Amino acid sequence: MGETKEGEEKGLQFQKFPEKGFLDYIRATSSKDGFLRFDSASRSFFFGRRSQIKAISSNPSTPDSTANTNNGGRHFLVPFIRNLKWETLFTYCMNWVKHPMNIALLIWLFFVATCSIALFLLMTGLLNHTIQKNSDRKQWTEILNQILNALFTIMCLYQHPKICHHLVLLCRYGSKDIVQLRSTYCKNGTRRPHERAHMMFVVILLQITCLSQYGLCALYWAFTSNTRPDLPQILFIALGTSSPIIAAVYKLFGPLGRNNKSEIGEVLQQNYEVVSVENELNQYNKRVIVASPEWAGGLLDCWDDNTVFFLSFFCTFCLFGWNMERLGFGNMYVHVTTFILLCCAPALVFSITALNIYNDTIRYLVEMAGIVLCLLGLLYGGFWRIQMRRRFKLPGNGFCYGFLALSDFIQWLFCWSCSLAQEVRTVNLYDVEKDGFCAKESEDGFCAKESEDGSEIVLTPLPRENVAGAVIINLGLDLEEGSHCSTEKGVDLGMINGRREQEVDEVVRNEMMRPPVRALMEEQNEVQAKCLIVVG
């Protein structure tokens, strides 16, 4: 009885791990040693021996055991598999489906699964009664192979720029490159022993996958079904199938995804260092953060900046990639290459595929699919417009029945140059920080700052090195007459020369200890000129 209780308690301990991701809903994270230490009484309970189940359920001191032995002992306690939480799993899946990239992936998987099932039925002879002629079956087999080849080629083309970028980062391996690679390949973004070699192995496998698909695509385009060599075809299919599987398993369960004993402490240490650096930088960063930024003009205000408008129309891809990089959304060359492939590759790939399909209806549908996919490639810009609007808290346009994301997609789909020009003008208006916009610094050292009521823009001085603050004095008010001036912290008297040095010093000392007066603020708003910085 004691051994049974102990075994059951061990089994329950395996079910108390916190959720970490989608895989944790299906499998538990119990260790191999803990499972091997599972005693014989617990194993007999797992296999459902009724005598021991009755002995456990008859003991009133173990309420957990009685809860797990309902229905006459037919409910098995599985110590290494967690019970599924269907509500949480459903919520996770719904949030996953809402992502536009995941929707596109589901559509791609639907067509791949449909063609694969049809090809399987043809190759196994299950459609012989429907398609009686052998020549017709071979023709449909070739059509399905060509469509599958086009679908996989398109997917490899879309993913290959990012993989090439990671290969460049691994070869260069700078300080910023390490952080980016760890966040992509290492679990929790933490440092791993010999991580560069492990990440290089994964990236090379992904490169082999893309190159194998390109080689298979060349075979399908250069040869017919009768003249196509079998050995290279089998080789490319084997490499293209096994390489991504090995890469995924190695990334998840290899050294890059394995839990380290000191991983929690390392994550906390890294977070502490990041927070410390950010706090230290924030102490010296006195830039004005814009709480509620606005778009620079309307969608059709293209002539506000003629240069930006012409570049957005004639050099859409380059301007888009440059704007994304300065917003902090990734490498410029990756965005440019991916955008070009999204808008051009489908027409090329599906047109060549249609030439190898000897069926007029299917050929026409494949060509039309390529054209439609090229047009839908503009939605790539709409996706990143959504990310820009959400990160920097820009207002949305709800003309599509209040759906902001749908409005962004529609704007890019039907007026891509106007949307891109508006985004570039907006970034030109502000200075980009990590997760927000700051007021733009002018050449004279001023920055724009919104007033408290949001009715006007006030110019405030930017902090200077070795200067404690700055003195702001209204035009029309003379220091000699005892006028007040508003200041933030003080002034470095070494920056002031002339006979007014003593007077300014006295005014600054008085104003540092005095809160602003409402009457003074109203008087200052009536002055025509905004403010003047006394620096010399």
- pLDDT digits 0-9 by tens, 253-296: 999 988 765 555 555 555 555 555 555 555 545 567 777 888 98
Contact call for residues 243 and 208 (beta carbons, < 8 A): yes
Q: Is the pLDDT at 532 greater than 90, yes or no? A: no
Contact call for residues 493 and 469 (beta carbons, < 8 A): no
Question: In whole angstroms, what is the distance from residue 462 CA to residue 284 CA?
Answer: 11
Contact call for residues 250 and 186 (beta carbons, < 8 A): no
Question: In whole angstroms, what is the distance from residue 54 CA to residue 1 CA?
Answer: 11
Question: In whole angstroms, what is the distance from residue 252 CA to residue 139 CA?
Answer: 41
The encoded tokens of residue 492 equal 């470095």
- pLDDT of res. 52: 46
**Whole-model pTM above 0.85?**
no
- pLDDT of res. 505: 53
- pLDDT digits 0-9 by tens, 406-441: 999 999 999 999 999 999 999 998 888 777 888 776
- pLDDT digits 0-9 by tens, 23-46: 444 444 444 444 444 444 444 444
- pLDDT digits 0-9 by tens, 443-493: 544 455 444 444 444 444 444 444 434 333 333 334 333 444 443 333 443
The percentage of the chain sitting over the pLDDT mark of 90, rounded to a whole number, equals: 39
Question: In whole angstroms, what is the distance from residue 239 CA to residue 249 CA?
Answer: 15
What are the residue ranges spanned by the domains of the chain? 2-87, 109-257+264-284, 302-438, 448-533
Question: In whole angstroms, what is the distance from residue 43 CA to residue 39 CA?
Answer: 6
- pLDDT of res. 462: 47
Contact call for residues 320 and 381 (beta carbons, < 8 A): yes
* φ, ψ of residue 486 in degrees (nearest 5): -100, 140
- pLDDT of res. 270: 56
